[in-house]
Structure 1
Amino acid sequence: MSEAQEDASLSRWIELDGAENVRDLGGLPTVHGRVVQPRRLIRSDSLQGLSEKDVRHLVDDLGVRAVADLRTGVEVSSEGPGPITREPSVEVRHLSLFPEAGDNTDAVAAEDDDGPVVLPWQGPKRSIDESDRRRGASGVYLSYLDDRADSVIDALRLIAGTEGATVVHCAAGKDRTGVVVALALAEVGVERDAIIEDYALSGERIEAIINRLSARKTYASDLDAGTVNFDRHKPRAETMARLLDVVDEFYGGVPAWLRAHGWTEEDAAALRHKLLD
Protein backbone atom coordinates (compact mmCIF):
# COMPACT_ATOMS: atom_id res chain seq x y z
CA MET A 1 0.00 0.00 0.00
CA SER A 2 1.40 3.41 -0.99
CA GLU A 3 1.78 6.25 1.53
CA ALA A 4 -1.16 8.08 -0.06
CA GLN A 5 -3.33 4.96 0.11
CA GLU A 6 -2.32 4.42 3.74
CA ASP A 7 -3.34 7.99 4.62
CA ALA A 8 -6.68 7.45 2.86
CA SER A 9 -7.34 4.23 4.79
CA LEU A 10 -6.62 5.98 8.08
CA SER A 11 -9.10 8.73 7.25
CA ARG A 12 -11.83 6.17 6.47
CA TRP A 13 -11.90 4.65 9.96
CA ILE A 14 -14.80 5.79 12.14
CA GLU A 15 -13.93 5.52 15.81
CA LEU A 16 -16.87 4.43 18.00
CA ASP A 17 -17.18 3.30 21.61
CA GLY A 18 -19.29 0.27 20.76
CA ALA A 19 -17.85 -1.12 17.50
CA GLU A 20 -14.36 -1.85 16.22
CA ASN A 21 -14.52 -2.35 12.45
CA VAL A 22 -16.28 0.75 11.13
CA ARG A 23 -15.17 2.71 8.11
CA ASP A 24 -16.47 5.03 5.43
CA LEU A 25 -15.92 3.84 1.86
CA GLY A 26 -15.59 7.42 0.65
CA GLY A 27 -12.45 8.12 -1.37
CA LEU A 28 -12.12 4.77 -3.13
CA PRO A 29 -11.19 5.38 -6.80
CA THR A 30 -13.06 4.07 -9.82
CA VAL A 31 -11.64 2.94 -13.15
CA HIS A 32 -13.33 5.98 -14.70
CA GLY A 33 -11.39 8.51 -12.65
CA ARG A 34 -14.15 9.21 -10.12
CA VAL A 35 -14.25 8.44 -6.40
CA VAL A 36 -16.84 7.11 -3.98
CA GLN A 37 -18.28 10.05 -2.08
CA PRO A 38 -18.02 10.14 1.74
CA ARG A 39 -21.04 9.56 3.97
CA ARG A 40 -22.78 7.36 1.41
CA LEU A 41 -21.66 3.82 2.30
CA ILE A 42 -20.31 2.72 5.68
CA ARG A 43 -19.28 -0.81 6.62
CA SER A 44 -19.30 -2.08 10.20
CA ASP A 45 -19.19 -4.94 12.63
CA SER A 46 -22.11 -5.48 15.04
CA LEU A 47 -23.98 -2.35 16.12
CA GLN A 48 -25.29 -3.94 19.33
CA GLY A 49 -22.83 -2.16 21.61
CA LEU A 50 -23.26 1.38 20.31
CA SER A 51 -23.30 4.09 22.93
CA GLU A 52 -25.71 7.01 22.75
CA LYS A 53 -22.79 9.14 21.57
CA ASP A 54 -22.09 6.60 18.80
CA VAL A 55 -25.71 6.69 17.64
CA ARG A 56 -25.75 10.47 17.56
CA HIS A 57 -22.48 10.56 15.60
CA LEU A 58 -23.78 8.09 13.01
CA VAL A 59 -27.23 9.64 12.65
CA ASP A 60 -26.60 13.34 13.19
CA ASP A 61 -23.02 13.83 11.99
CA LEU A 62 -22.68 11.16 9.29
CA GLY A 63 -26.29 11.18 8.11
CA VAL A 64 -27.00 7.46 8.45
CA ARG A 65 -30.55 6.75 7.32
CA ALA A 66 -30.50 3.02 6.61
CA VAL A 67 -28.89 -0.15 7.96
CA ALA A 68 -28.51 -3.43 6.06
CA ASP A 69 -28.17 -6.02 8.83
CA LEU A 70 -26.73 -9.19 7.29
CA ARG A 71 -26.85 -11.30 10.44
CA THR A 72 -28.97 -14.44 10.60
CA GLY A 73 -32.32 -14.54 12.34
CA VAL A 74 -30.91 -16.41 15.29
CA GLU A 75 -28.23 -13.75 15.80
CA VAL A 76 -30.80 -10.97 15.69
CA SER A 77 -33.12 -12.76 18.10
CA SER A 78 -30.34 -13.70 20.49
CA GLU A 79 -28.85 -10.21 20.60
CA GLY A 80 -32.15 -8.35 20.81
CA PRO A 81 -32.93 -4.90 19.38
CA GLY A 82 -29.81 -2.77 19.04
CA PRO A 83 -29.64 0.93 19.94
CA ILE A 84 -29.94 2.16 16.37
CA THR A 85 -33.25 0.29 15.87
CA ARG A 86 -34.83 2.89 18.16
CA GLU A 87 -33.97 5.73 15.79
CA PRO A 88 -37.13 6.75 13.89
CA SER A 89 -35.13 8.31 11.05
CA VAL A 90 -33.19 5.09 10.34
CA GLU A 91 -34.61 2.16 8.36
CA VAL A 92 -33.15 -1.15 9.53
CA ARG A 93 -33.49 -4.11 7.15
CA HIS A 94 -32.60 -7.66 8.19
CA LEU A 95 -31.12 -9.43 5.15
CA SER A 96 -29.57 -12.74 6.14
CA LEU A 97 -27.02 -14.30 3.81
CA PHE A 98 -27.79 -17.79 5.11
CA PRO A 99 -30.80 -19.85 3.94
CA GLU A 100 -33.91 -19.06 5.97
CA ALA A 101 -37.32 -20.53 5.16
CA GLY A 102 -38.98 -18.83 8.12
CA ASP A 103 -38.25 -17.14 11.39
CA ASN A 104 -34.86 -18.29 12.64
CA THR A 105 -34.89 -21.51 10.62
CA ASP A 106 -31.30 -20.91 9.59
CA ALA A 107 -30.10 -21.96 13.04
CA VAL A 108 -31.41 -23.02 16.42
CA ALA A 109 -30.75 -21.90 19.95
CA ALA A 110 -29.99 -24.42 22.64
CA GLU A 111 -33.02 -25.98 24.35
CA ASP A 112 -31.77 -24.51 27.63
CA ASP A 113 -32.11 -20.73 27.51
CA ASP A 114 -28.88 -20.51 29.48
CA GLY A 115 -27.06 -22.74 27.02
CA PRO A 116 -24.94 -21.64 24.07
CA VAL A 117 -26.49 -20.30 20.89
CA VAL A 118 -25.99 -22.64 17.94
CA LEU A 119 -25.02 -20.54 14.93
CA PRO A 120 -25.65 -21.64 11.34
CA TRP A 121 -22.01 -22.19 10.47
CA GLN A 122 -21.68 -24.59 13.45
CA GLY A 123 -24.26 -26.99 12.00
CA PRO A 124 -23.85 -29.72 9.38
CA LYS A 125 -21.92 -28.60 6.34
CA ARG A 126 -23.56 -28.84 2.97
CA SER A 127 -21.94 -31.17 0.45
CA ILE A 128 -19.13 -29.69 -1.60
CA ASP A 129 -19.21 -30.28 -5.32
CA GLU A 130 -16.40 -29.83 -7.82
CA SER A 131 -17.27 -26.21 -8.52
CA ASP A 132 -17.02 -25.45 -4.79
CA ARG A 133 -13.56 -26.99 -4.72
CA ARG A 134 -12.44 -24.77 -7.58
CA ARG A 135 -13.54 -21.77 -5.56
CA GLY A 136 -11.03 -22.54 -2.82
CA ALA A 137 -11.04 -20.38 0.33
CA SER A 138 -13.70 -18.08 -1.06
CA GLY A 139 -16.20 -20.94 -1.42
CA VAL A 140 -18.24 -19.82 1.58
CA TYR A 141 -18.54 -16.37 0.02
CA LEU A 142 -19.89 -17.90 -3.17
CA SER A 143 -22.46 -19.75 -1.07
CA TYR A 144 -23.85 -16.37 0.00
CA LEU A 145 -24.43 -15.57 -3.67
CA ASP A 146 -25.85 -19.01 -4.42
CA ASP A 147 -28.13 -19.18 -1.38
CA ARG A 148 -29.24 -15.60 -0.82
CA ALA A 149 -29.05 -13.61 -4.02
CA ASP A 150 -32.31 -11.98 -2.89
CA SER A 151 -30.67 -10.51 0.21
CA VAL A 152 -27.68 -9.29 -1.78
CA ILE A 153 -29.91 -7.52 -4.30
CA ASP A 154 -32.10 -6.05 -1.55
CA ALA A 155 -29.03 -4.76 0.30
CA LEU A 156 -27.73 -3.00 -2.82
CA ARG A 157 -31.16 -1.53 -3.49
CA LEU A 158 -31.28 -0.24 0.09
CA ILE A 159 -27.93 1.46 -0.45
CA ALA A 160 -29.04 2.91 -3.78
CA GLY A 161 -32.44 4.09 -2.56
CA THR A 162 -31.43 5.81 0.67
CA GLU A 163 -30.96 9.57 0.65
CA GLY A 164 -28.38 9.54 3.44
CA ALA A 165 -25.65 7.10 4.36
CA THR A 166 -26.27 3.36 4.55
CA VAL A 167 -24.46 1.11 7.02
CA VAL A 168 -23.85 -2.49 5.95
CA HIS A 169 -22.93 -4.77 8.84
CA CYS A 170 -22.88 -8.33 10.15
CA ALA A 171 -21.17 -9.62 13.31
CA ALA A 172 -17.47 -9.06 12.61
CA GLY A 173 -17.97 -6.81 9.58
CA LYS A 174 -15.50 -8.71 7.43
CA ASP A 175 -17.05 -11.72 5.64
CA ARG A 176 -20.74 -11.16 4.90
CA THR A 177 -20.25 -7.41 4.95
CA GLY A 178 -17.13 -7.77 2.84
CA VAL A 179 -18.97 -9.61 0.08
CA VAL A 180 -21.94 -7.21 -0.16
CA VAL A 181 -19.70 -4.14 -0.05
CA ALA A 182 -17.37 -5.61 -2.68
CA LEU A 183 -20.29 -6.21 -5.07
CA ALA A 184 -21.60 -2.69 -4.56
CA LEU A 185 -18.18 -1.21 -5.22
CA ALA A 186 -17.53 -3.41 -8.24
CA GLU A 187 -20.89 -2.48 -9.76
CA VAL A 188 -20.03 1.23 -9.74
CA GLY A 189 -16.56 0.62 -11.16
CA VAL A 190 -14.29 0.91 -8.13
CA GLU A 191 -10.80 -0.32 -8.98
CA ARG A 192 -10.28 -4.00 -8.26
CA ASP A 193 -7.17 -3.38 -6.16
CA ALA A 194 -9.04 -0.82 -4.05
CA ILE A 195 -11.85 -3.32 -3.38
CA ILE A 196 -9.34 -5.97 -2.33
CA GLU A 197 -7.34 -3.58 -0.14
CA ASP A 198 -10.46 -2.36 1.64
CA TYR A 199 -11.57 -5.94 2.31
CA ALA A 200 -8.20 -6.84 3.85
CA LEU A 201 -8.15 -3.68 5.98
CA SER A 202 -10.40 -5.35 8.57
CA GLY A 203 -7.40 -7.50 9.47
CA GLU A 204 -5.83 -4.53 11.23
CA ARG A 205 -8.48 -4.78 13.95
CA ILE A 206 -9.12 -8.51 14.10
CA GLU A 207 -8.07 -8.95 17.74
CA ALA A 208 -10.37 -6.16 18.92
CA ILE A 209 -13.23 -7.55 16.80
CA ILE A 210 -12.86 -11.09 18.17
CA ASN A 211 -12.43 -9.90 21.76
CA ARG A 212 -15.64 -7.89 21.56
CA LEU A 213 -17.67 -10.70 19.96
CA SER A 214 -16.38 -13.39 22.32
CA ALA A 215 -17.69 -11.40 25.28
CA ARG A 216 -21.26 -11.76 23.96
CA LYS A 217 -23.32 -14.87 24.72
CA THR A 218 -24.38 -15.25 21.10
CA TYR A 219 -20.82 -15.87 19.94
CA ALA A 220 -19.14 -17.16 23.11
CA SER A 221 -19.38 -20.83 22.10
CA ASP A 222 -17.95 -20.05 18.67
CA LEU A 223 -15.10 -17.84 19.85
CA ASP A 224 -12.79 -18.05 22.83
CA ALA A 225 -10.57 -14.98 22.81
CA GLY A 226 -8.15 -16.77 25.13
CA THR A 227 -7.42 -19.58 22.69
CA VAL A 228 -8.56 -18.32 19.29
CA ASN A 229 -6.06 -18.09 16.45
CA PHE A 230 -6.48 -14.47 15.43
CA ASP A 231 -4.47 -14.97 12.27
CA ARG A 232 -6.92 -17.65 11.13
CA HIS A 233 -9.78 -15.14 11.29
CA LYS A 234 -7.91 -12.37 9.51
CA PRO A 235 -9.29 -11.53 6.06
CA ARG A 236 -6.70 -12.03 3.34
CA ALA A 237 -6.42 -10.11 0.10
CA GLU A 238 -6.13 -13.31 -1.93
CA THR A 239 -9.56 -14.48 -0.71
CA MET A 240 -11.34 -11.45 -2.16
CA ALA A 241 -9.19 -11.62 -5.30
CA ARG A 242 -10.27 -15.24 -5.76
CA LEU A 243 -13.92 -14.37 -5.20
CA LEU A 244 -13.80 -11.71 -7.90
CA ASP A 245 -11.95 -14.10 -10.22
CA VAL A 246 -14.59 -16.80 -9.75
CA VAL A 247 -17.46 -14.37 -10.31
CA ASP A 248 -15.73 -13.33 -13.53
CA GLU A 249 -15.10 -16.93 -14.59
CA PHE A 250 -18.45 -18.49 -13.73
CA TYR A 251 -20.87 -15.58 -14.07
CA GLY A 252 -19.24 -13.09 -16.44
CA GLY A 253 -18.45 -10.52 -13.75
CA VAL A 254 -20.30 -8.74 -10.96
CA PRO A 255 -22.63 -6.69 -13.22
CA ALA A 256 -23.67 -9.85 -15.09
CA TRP A 257 -24.29 -11.76 -11.85
CA LEU A 258 -26.43 -8.95 -10.48
CA ARG A 259 -28.52 -8.67 -13.65
CA ALA A 260 -29.04 -12.42 -13.73
CA HIS A 261 -30.70 -12.07 -10.32
CA GLY A 262 -33.10 -9.23 -11.03
CA TRP A 263 -30.87 -6.17 -10.78
CA THR A 264 -31.81 -3.64 -13.47
CA GLU A 265 -30.12 -0.81 -15.33
CA GLU A 266 -32.29 1.57 -13.29
CA ASP A 267 -30.92 -0.02 -10.12
CA ALA A 268 -27.37 0.38 -11.42
CA ALA A 269 -27.93 4.05 -12.28
CA ALA A 270 -29.38 4.70 -8.82
CA LEU A 271 -26.37 3.06 -7.14
CA ARG A 272 -23.91 5.05 -9.25
CA HIS A 273 -25.79 8.25 -8.41
CA LYS A 274 -25.81 7.41 -4.72
CA LEU A 275 -22.15 6.49 -4.41
CA LEU A 276 -20.43 8.67 -6.99
CA ASP A 277 -22.45 11.88 -7.57
Structure 2
Amino acid sequence: MLSGVPNFRDAGGYATRSGATVRTGVLFRSGRPIHATADDVATLDRLGVSTLVDLRWPDERSRHPTGPWSHRLEVIATDVGGDSDPWPVFLRESDLSAATLDGYMRRFYAGAAFEERHVDLFTRYFAALAAGRGALLVHCTGGKDRTGLLVALTHHLLGVHRDDILADYVATNHHWPYERHGADVAAALAAGHGRATPDEDAVRVVMEVRPDLLDLAFDAIIDRHGSVDTYLERQLGATPAVRDQIVARLT
Protein backbone atom coordinates (compact mmCIF):
# COMPACT_ATOMS: atom_id res chain seq x y z
CA MET A 1 0.00 0.00 0.00
CA LEU A 2 2.90 2.37 0.76
CA SER A 3 5.78 2.27 -1.71
CA GLY A 4 8.32 3.96 0.57
CA VAL A 5 7.36 2.41 3.91
CA PRO A 6 8.47 -1.20 4.42
CA ASN A 7 6.36 -3.88 6.08
CA PHE A 8 3.29 -1.62 6.29
CA ARG A 9 -0.02 -3.23 7.10
CA ASP A 10 -3.27 -2.91 9.02
CA ALA A 11 -3.30 -4.78 12.34
CA GLY A 12 -7.06 -5.23 12.25
CA GLY A 13 -9.38 -7.81 10.74
CA TYR A 14 -8.85 -10.67 13.21
CA ALA A 15 -11.62 -12.46 15.09
CA THR A 16 -11.63 -12.35 18.89
CA ARG A 17 -12.68 -14.93 21.46
CA SER A 18 -15.78 -12.85 22.24
CA GLY A 19 -17.00 -13.19 18.66
CA ALA A 20 -16.06 -9.65 17.62
CA THR A 21 -13.59 -8.59 14.93
CA VAL A 22 -10.69 -6.19 15.42
CA ARG A 23 -11.53 -3.05 13.50
CA THR A 24 -9.45 -2.08 10.52
CA GLY A 25 -8.29 1.48 10.01
CA VAL A 26 -7.33 2.11 13.64
CA LEU A 27 -3.94 0.48 14.19
CA PHE A 28 -1.22 0.18 11.56
CA ARG A 29 2.30 -1.22 11.78
CA SER A 30 5.43 -0.81 9.67
CA GLY A 31 9.16 -0.47 9.44
CA ARG A 32 10.71 2.98 9.72
CA PRO A 33 8.80 5.42 7.48
CA ILE A 34 11.81 7.59 6.71
CA HIS A 35 11.41 7.20 2.94
CA ALA A 36 7.68 7.85 2.81
CA THR A 37 6.78 9.40 -0.52
CA ALA A 38 4.33 12.25 -1.01
CA ASP A 39 1.75 9.67 -2.06
CA ASP A 40 2.50 7.62 1.07
CA VAL A 41 1.98 10.66 3.28
CA ALA A 42 -1.29 11.41 1.49
CA THR A 43 -2.40 7.83 2.12
CA LEU A 44 -1.54 8.08 5.82
CA ASP A 45 -3.54 11.31 5.98
CA ARG A 46 -6.47 9.60 4.27
CA LEU A 47 -6.24 6.73 6.76
CA GLY A 48 -6.50 9.22 9.60
CA VAL A 49 -3.13 8.48 11.18
CA SER A 50 -2.62 11.07 13.90
CA THR A 51 -0.22 9.28 16.26
CA LEU A 52 3.20 7.88 15.39
CA VAL A 53 4.66 5.40 17.87
CA ASP A 54 8.41 5.33 17.21
CA LEU A 55 9.98 2.44 19.13
CA ARG A 56 13.54 3.21 18.03
CA TRP A 57 16.46 4.24 20.19
CA PRO A 58 17.41 7.95 20.24
CA ASP A 59 20.52 7.35 18.11
CA GLU A 60 18.43 5.44 15.55
CA ARG A 61 16.06 8.38 15.35
CA SER A 62 18.99 10.79 14.96
CA ARG A 63 20.65 8.79 12.19
CA HIS A 64 17.41 8.15 10.32
CA PRO A 65 14.90 10.89 11.17
CA THR A 66 11.33 10.70 10.03
CA GLY A 67 10.40 13.42 7.56
CA PRO A 68 8.84 16.81 8.32
CA TRP A 69 5.41 15.33 7.59
CA SER A 70 5.56 13.67 11.02
CA HIS A 71 5.82 17.00 12.84
CA ARG A 72 2.08 17.51 12.67
CA LEU A 73 1.43 14.16 14.37
CA GLU A 74 1.54 13.20 18.02
CA VAL A 75 4.82 11.26 18.28
CA ILE A 76 5.36 8.76 21.07
CA ALA A 77 9.10 8.16 21.47
CA THR A 78 11.42 7.94 24.44
CA ASP A 79 14.92 8.73 25.66
CA VAL A 80 14.41 6.55 28.73
CA GLY A 81 17.00 3.82 29.14
CA GLY A 82 19.89 5.51 27.37
CA ASP A 83 20.72 6.88 23.95
CA SER A 84 22.43 4.05 22.14
CA ASP A 85 21.04 1.01 20.41
CA PRO A 86 23.19 -1.98 21.51
CA TRP A 87 22.86 -3.66 18.12
CA PRO A 88 25.72 -1.80 16.32
CA VAL A 89 28.15 -2.63 19.14
CA PHE A 90 27.12 -6.27 19.08
CA LEU A 91 27.42 -6.34 15.30
CA ARG A 92 30.97 -5.01 15.28
CA GLU A 93 32.04 -7.68 17.78
CA SER A 94 30.03 -10.51 16.22
CA ASP A 95 31.35 -13.27 13.96
CA LEU A 96 28.20 -12.77 11.82
CA SER A 97 27.31 -16.45 12.08
CA ALA A 98 23.68 -17.51 12.08
CA ALA A 99 24.11 -19.08 15.53
CA THR A 100 25.56 -15.93 17.07
CA LEU A 101 22.89 -13.71 15.54
CA ASP A 102 20.17 -16.12 16.66
CA GLY A 103 21.52 -15.96 20.20
CA TYR A 104 21.23 -12.17 20.14
CA MET A 105 17.65 -12.35 18.90
CA ARG A 106 16.68 -14.88 21.55
CA ARG A 107 18.17 -12.76 24.32
CA PHE A 108 16.36 -9.73 22.97
CA TYR A 109 12.97 -11.43 22.99
CA ALA A 110 13.48 -12.92 26.45
CA GLY A 111 14.04 -9.46 27.94
CA ALA A 112 12.24 -7.04 25.63
CA ALA A 113 9.02 -6.78 27.62
CA PHE A 114 10.90 -5.62 30.72
CA GLU A 115 13.33 -3.08 29.27
CA GLU A 116 12.76 0.29 30.91
CA ARG A 117 12.40 2.04 27.57
CA HIS A 118 9.87 -0.48 26.27
CA VAL A 119 7.81 -0.27 29.45
CA ASP A 120 7.69 3.52 29.01
CA LEU A 121 6.79 3.32 25.32
CA PHE A 122 4.28 0.50 25.67
CA THR A 123 2.54 2.21 28.60
CA ARG A 124 2.13 5.47 26.68
CA TYR A 125 1.02 3.58 23.58
CA PHE A 126 -1.80 1.77 25.40
CA ALA A 127 -2.89 5.06 26.99
CA ALA A 128 -3.04 6.68 23.53
CA LEU A 129 -4.90 3.70 22.12
CA ALA A 130 -7.49 4.01 24.88
CA ALA A 131 -7.79 7.78 24.40
CA GLY A 132 -8.99 7.33 20.84
CA ARG A 133 -7.30 10.27 19.11
CA GLY A 134 -7.30 9.00 15.53
CA ALA A 135 -5.43 6.09 14.01
CA LEU A 136 -1.96 5.01 15.16
CA LEU A 137 1.09 3.84 13.24
CA VAL A 138 3.55 1.76 15.28
CA HIS A 139 7.03 1.28 13.86
CA CYS A 140 10.62 0.51 14.74
CA THR A 141 13.29 -0.09 12.10
CA GLY A 142 12.19 -3.26 10.33
CA GLY A 143 8.74 -3.35 11.87
CA LYS A 144 9.21 -6.92 12.99
CA ASP A 145 10.64 -7.39 16.51
CA ARG A 146 9.79 -4.42 18.73
CA THR A 147 6.72 -3.64 16.66
CA GLY A 148 5.84 -7.32 16.40
CA LEU A 149 5.89 -7.77 20.16
CA LEU A 150 3.80 -4.66 20.86
CA VAL A 151 1.18 -5.56 18.27
CA ALA A 152 1.05 -9.14 19.58
CA LEU A 153 0.42 -7.80 23.09
CA THR A 154 -2.33 -5.61 21.68
CA HIS A 155 -3.94 -8.56 19.93
CA HIS A 156 -3.75 -10.55 23.16
CA LEU A 157 -5.47 -7.75 25.07
CA LEU A 158 -8.22 -7.69 22.45
CA GLY A 159 -8.77 -11.44 22.72
CA VAL A 160 -7.41 -12.41 19.31
CA HIS A 161 -6.86 -16.15 18.99
CA ARG A 162 -3.29 -17.32 19.51
CA ASP A 163 -3.00 -18.72 15.98
CA ASP A 164 -3.99 -15.35 14.53
CA ILE A 165 -1.57 -13.49 16.80
CA LEU A 166 1.22 -15.64 15.40
CA ALA A 167 -0.11 -15.30 11.84
CA ASP A 168 0.04 -11.51 12.04
CA TYR A 169 3.50 -11.67 13.59
CA VAL A 170 5.00 -13.95 10.92
CA ALA A 171 3.34 -12.00 8.09
CA THR A 172 6.51 -9.89 8.17
CA ASN A 173 8.18 -12.71 6.25
CA HIS A 174 5.75 -12.05 3.39
CA HIS A 175 5.76 -8.26 3.56
CA TRP A 176 9.54 -7.94 3.94
CA PRO A 177 10.87 -11.03 2.14
CA TYR A 178 14.47 -12.13 1.93
CA GLU A 179 14.18 -12.56 -1.82
CA ARG A 180 13.47 -8.85 -2.30
CA HIS A 181 15.43 -7.23 0.51
CA GLY A 182 18.08 -9.76 1.52
CA ALA A 183 20.90 -8.19 -0.49
CA ASP A 184 20.33 -4.79 1.13
CA VAL A 185 20.26 -6.28 4.61
CA ALA A 186 23.41 -8.31 3.91
CA ALA A 187 25.19 -5.15 2.78
CA ALA A 188 24.09 -3.28 5.91
CA LEU A 189 25.29 -6.13 8.13
CA ALA A 190 28.63 -6.23 6.33
CA ALA A 191 29.05 -2.47 6.69
CA GLY A 192 28.20 -2.62 10.38
CA HIS A 193 30.61 -5.49 10.97
CA GLY A 194 33.39 -4.06 8.86
CA ARG A 195 35.24 -7.30 8.22
CA ALA A 196 32.97 -9.93 6.69
CA THR A 197 29.85 -10.51 4.64
CA PRO A 198 27.14 -12.69 6.21
CA ASP A 199 25.83 -15.79 4.47
CA GLU A 200 22.17 -16.32 3.61
CA ASP A 201 21.38 -18.19 6.83
CA ALA A 202 22.73 -15.31 8.91
CA VAL A 203 20.78 -12.70 6.94
CA ARG A 204 17.59 -14.71 7.31
CA VAL A 205 18.06 -14.86 11.08
CA VAL A 206 18.13 -11.07 11.18
CA MET A 207 15.32 -10.51 8.69
CA GLU A 208 12.78 -13.20 9.43
CA VAL A 209 10.52 -13.75 12.41
CA ARG A 210 9.67 -17.14 13.91
CA PRO A 211 6.91 -18.21 16.29
CA ASP A 212 9.45 -19.53 18.81
CA LEU A 213 10.85 -16.01 19.27
CA LEU A 214 7.46 -14.55 20.15
CA ASP A 215 6.87 -17.55 22.41
CA LEU A 216 10.10 -16.66 24.24
CA ALA A 217 8.77 -13.19 24.99
CA PHE A 218 5.37 -14.40 26.17
CA ASP A 219 6.90 -17.20 28.25
CA ALA A 220 9.22 -14.70 29.95
CA ILE A 221 6.24 -12.48 30.76
CA ILE A 222 4.31 -15.40 32.23
CA ASP A 223 7.33 -16.57 34.24
CA ARG A 224 7.73 -13.13 35.82
CA HIS A 225 4.10 -12.00 36.18
CA GLY A 226 2.05 -15.19 36.14
CA SER A 227 0.06 -14.14 33.08
CA VAL A 228 0.19 -11.72 30.17
CA ASP A 229 -2.92 -9.99 31.50
CA THR A 230 -1.21 -9.29 34.83
CA TYR A 231 1.81 -7.88 33.00
CA LEU A 232 -0.41 -5.61 30.91
CA GLU A 233 -2.14 -4.27 34.00
CA ARG A 234 0.69 -4.00 36.52
CA GLN A 235 3.60 -3.15 34.23
CA LEU A 236 1.90 -1.21 31.43
CA GLY A 237 -1.09 0.37 33.17
CA ALA A 238 -3.71 -1.49 31.13
CA THR A 239 -6.20 -1.62 33.99
CA PRO A 240 -9.66 -3.13 33.44
CA ALA A 241 -10.99 0.35 32.67
CA VAL A 242 -8.25 1.01 30.12
CA ARG A 243 -8.73 -2.43 28.58
CA ASP A 244 -12.46 -1.79 28.25
CA GLN A 245 -11.75 1.49 26.44
CA ILE A 246 -9.33 -0.20 24.05
CA VAL A 247 -11.69 -3.10 23.37
CA ALA A 248 -14.58 -0.70 22.75
CA ARG A 249 -12.49 1.30 20.32
CA LEU A 250 -10.98 -1.58 18.38
CA THR A 251 -13.82 -4.11 18.21
TM-score normalised to structure 1 length: 0.74
> In the alignment, what sits opposite 1:165?
135
| Contact 2:126 2:238 survives alignment (8 Å) | no
| Contact 1:206 1:230 survives alignment (8 Å) | no
1:151 Cα deviation after fit: 1.7
Distance 1:201 1:188, change over 3 A: same
> In the alignment, what sits opposite 2:229?
255
Q: List per-residue Cα deviations over 1:173-230 (Å, max 9, x = no partner).
A: 00000111111111111111111111111012233455566788x9952699985633
Tell me the secondary structure at the aligned position of residue 216 of structure 2.
helix
Unaligned 5+ runs, structure 1: 1-14, 108-118, 126-134
User: Which segment is superposed worse, 165-174 or 196-205?
Assistant: 196-205
State the distance in 2 between where 1:209 and 1:160 align.
35
Distance 1:232 1:75, change over 3 A: same
| Contact 1:142 1:243 survives alignment (8 Å) | yes
Tell me the secondary structure at the aligned position of residue 3 of structure 2.
coil
Distance 1:36 1:219, change over 3 A: farther
State the distance in 1 between where 2:107 and 2:227 align.
16
User: Which segment is superposed worse, 153-162 or 166-175?
Assistant: 153-162
Q: Which amino acid aligns with 1:254?
A: V
Selected match of 2:89 from 123, 127, 142: 123
Q: How does 1:135-174 map to 2 (within 5 A)?
A: 138-148=106-116, 149-174=119-144
State the distance in 1 between where 2:221 and 2:76 align.
26
1:170 Cα deviation after fit: 0.2
> In the alignment, what sits opposite 1:57?
43
Unaligned 5+ runs, structure 2: 92-102
Selected match of 1:79 from 45, 54, 64: 64
> In the alignment, what sits opposite 2:168?
198
State the distance in 2 between where 1:30 and 1:219 align.
43
Q: Which amino acid aligns with 1:72?
A: W
Distance 1:136 1:193, change over 3 A: farther
Q: How does 1:169-180 map to 2 (within 5 A)?
A: 169-180=139-150
State the distance in 1 between where 2:197 and 2:38 align.
27
State the distance in 2 between where 1:273 and 1:225 align.
49
| Contact 2:186 2:198 survives alignment (8 Å) | no
> In the alignment, what sits opposite 1:237?
211
Identity percentage of aligned residues: 28
TM-score normalised to structure 2 length: 0.80
User: Which segment is superposed worse, 189-198 or 230-239?
Assistant: 230-239
Q: Which amino acid aligns with 1:67?
A: L
| Contact 2:76 2:124 survives alignment (8 Å) | no
Distance 1:137 1:52, change over 3 A: closer
State the distance in 1 between where 2:48 and 2:127 align.
18
> In the alignment, what sits opposite 2:77?
94
1:85 Cα deviation after fit: 1.3
Q: Which has the higher helix share?
A: 2
Tell me the secondary structure at the aligned position of residue 221 of structure 1.
helix
Q: Which amino acid aligns with 2:60?
A: E
Tell me the secondary structure at the aligned position of residue 150 of structure 1.
helix
| Contact 2:5 2:30 survives alignment (8 Å) | yes
> In the alignment, what sits opposite 2:51?
66
Q: List per-residue Cα deviations over 1:105-163 (Å, max 9, x = no partner).
A: xx2xxxxxxxxxxx4223369xxxxxxxxx99643123222222122111222222233
Tell me the secondary structure at the aligned position of residue 71 of structure 1.
coil
CA RMSD of aligned residues (A): 3.0
> In the alignment, what sits opposite 2:192?
221
State the distance in 1 between where 2:39 and 2:9 align.
17
Number of positions where the alignment pairs a residue of Structure 1 with one of Structure 2 = 232
Tell me the secondary structure at the aligned position of residue 171 of structure 2.
helix
State the distance in 1 between where 2:190 and 2:240 align.
39
State the distance in 1 between where 2:197 and 2:190 align.
11
> In the alignment, what sits opposite 2:15?
29
